[in-house]
Structure 1
Amino acid sequence: MTLTLIVAVHAAAAGGNWLGTLTAIATALAWGVAVSIVSQAAVSRLLFSMSRDGKLPKALSLIHERYRTPHVSLYLVAALSLIIGIVFLDAPDVLTTLVNFGALTGFCILHVSVISHYRIRQRSHRLLAHLAFPLIGLLIIGYVLISMSAYAKVLGLAWIAIGMVYLAILIKRGKGVHLASEI
């Protein structure tokens, strides 16, 4: 049960259904707006930097003259957020699961990267910090990923496949990834 729902249930018990509904709407709007603004700003800046590095269309790296913000990226993220919100309006649990799949997959990659960078490249002898802890984290997150619904796994893996195809296209065009050791 989400915190918003818990608060709404208690408000309804204290003041009736009207207070529960009002509390749920106010809480969702307050948290939703705050989280949306931060998320959209972060994602638009990520798209901006990827565009500036030649990984995405150049239009996404345009800066607004007056506000000095990546306005095209901001508009794109806002439009996509609106579309995704409408599509998943009746299935917020599916959307949450997909977001969790993406975040957890990213954390798995992070743990593998720690092992690769410190243990393999730098030949670190700190086994606990650079091997044991990342492996434990990888196992825990891997278990959570495996325990997700089949729907989330299929959609998440499809999204990863699309990303891999896009990466292959970038590599074929000579715009592939650059490892930290190459920079």
Structure 2
Amino acid sequence: MSDRQTLEVYTEAAQAYADGFARADDSFHDPDFEAFTSLLPAGARILDLGCGPGHWAARFKAKGFEVSAMDASAGMAALAKSDFGIDVEVAAFEALESGNGFDGVWANFSLLHAPRADLPGHLARIHRALNPGGIFHIGMKLGDSEGRDKLGRFYAYYSEDELKNLLKDAGFSVTRSRRGNGQGLAGGVETYVILTAHG
């Protein structure tokens, strides 16, 4: 994510976001966390891509995994460091390099801020950053358009089938999907999909 307006919103709302999500009872995503981590070997290398305030990275670390974290928002990175001791690489999705040797990549509602035209390239980069057979988790909101929410953040929406086809084109095999409804920072309730895939 490198959209300046979106980053400015997250910088201004970083503390409110952390209070509402990172420090809240996020148990409704526990099945997704377990589905992802259960497929990884002990001590696996995980990248939390678009880590926000670091709460998921902290959970991976507490479970004994080797964790790297990346986010384009310096404000979010600062919170991840102060609240959880997570060192975050402040960088856009495009900075992800091939051959990183990750066993798993967790992109939980982060890639939805990338333009639709850019998503195939991001998925290809993630596939190249994973070890063969590596595990990829992606959370996205369902829809068929792109644009800004009332806070000014840029979003791209997809159907579940469209996402599955994009993942297949990037070399992934989807093994799990789950839909749900959640309330975000802007206050609205939206339908989302969680996909787990093998590289």
TM-score, normalising length: structure 1:
0.30
The TM-score, its normalising length taken from structure 2, stands at 0.28
**Which of the pair is proportionally richer in strand?**
2
Q: Which structure has more RCO (C-alpha within 8 Å, separation ≥ 6)?
A: 2
